[in-house]
Amino acid sequence: MASIRRPHSPAKQHLLRHHHPFATSSPPSSPLRHSSTSSSPRTHHHLAGGYPHPFLFFTRRPLPRFAAFFLLGSFLGLLHFLSHLPRQTPHLRPASSSPAVIPRHQLPIVRLNNDDDDDMNNNKLLVVVTPTRARAAQAYYLSRLGHTLRLVDPPLLWLVVEAGNPTPEAAAALRGTTVMHRYVGCCDKLNASSSGDADALRFRPHQMNAALELLENHRLDAIVYFADEEGVYSLDLFKRLRQVRRFGTWPVPVISEDRKDGVGMVLEGPVCKQNQVVGWHTSEHASKLRRFHVAMSGFAFNSTMLWDPRLRSHLAWNSIRHSDTAKQGYQATTFVEQLVEDESQMEGIPADCSQIMNWHVPAGSENLAYPRGWRVGTNLDVVIPLK
């Protein structure tokens, strides 16, 4: 049965056109009329005004609606995040006529135009190498030298090398000085622990070489100084050591018990003009075969010379070490010849080398023959009455 669609009356069409939300501005027409008049400008005008409201585009399509609310939520979350960031506001100080008080640790360091003061205040690391051996007076000598080193300005490292295995007595004496130290053993394969005092000098080159190996392996940039435990040292010596740039030397009185003239003391070291070495102090009994007349405790050098070939002497083609075959009295000059070529590469300290800063006592001299006037030739007879 055929169905017939009847158009609304003109009054009803007027109501629908003005009150229905989806009504168009043009009256409905038949398909024949729409196809015949679709190309006219009037029809285009009515079709352009016939689209629904733009908000309905978001209500009927889920994807644009999701995108719109996603961007809105992201924007609100970003604002919440930015509101909780710490604010860096400049510190405003009220203007005042009184000067500001600066803490002492923030004050700038003002140095005077004095080269000696600048060198003394240098914070160069000092490494003091001390060979030692187990004997009755070991704790006394280590304690005496340690209490001298504790008065030296840091940084300082005391490297003590034992001839044999380390002993608890020496370790306790070193801890009592409160000086930063390292206590190691040496020459255990040479049976140094069971040897007597007569063989003490035989192990000293090996002990000092063990200390040099530690410095070279750890690449410690420091000023190295060989300090015997029997020697006597002033604090001014360790202050002057920080002036050394490459190799420094100074005169040292050497006390000896092998002197036949009864003096028991000879001055060995450089003769300086300003800081330049121009000659040597020595005695007539000293051998002329020695190239440099220096004592073992009369020089110091920069540790970088141990591994930097550009700072060494041309004779040092290998590792710089003490020779265990050198005769007594030649160990110092044999070692110095590996560091410098001539006196032009030396630095005399202090200026003009005019100060005695330490006394060198030969190793193994337990009963010293002091210089004339320092000891009484005969024993004192004292009678103490009993009460």
Domain boundaries of the chain, sorted by first residue: 121-248+292-343
Q: What is the CATH number of domain 121-248+292-343?
A: 3.90.550.10
* pLDDT confidence tier of residue 255, bands split at 50, 70 and 90: confident
Q: Which of 24-28, 185-189, 316-320 reaches the highest mean pLDDT?
A: 185-189
Q: Is the pLDDT of residue 340 over 60?
A: yes
Q: Which pLDDT value is given to residue 47?
A: 44
Q: Distance (Å, rounded) from C-alpha 189 to C-alpha 92?
A: 72
Q: What number is the average pLDDT over the span 23-28?
A: 48
Q: What number is the average pLDDT over the span 325-343?
A: 89
Instruction: Give me 286's structure tokens.
Output: 């000293």
Segment 59-111, tens digit of pLDDT: 667 887 788 888 888 888 888 888 776 655 444 444 444 444 445 444 444 44
State the pTM of this model.
Answer: 0.63
Residue 307, burial from CB neighbour count under 10 angstroms (0-12, 13-18, 19+): middle
Q: What number is the average pLDDT over the span 239-265?
A: 80
Q: What number is the average pLDDT over the span 351-363?
A: 85
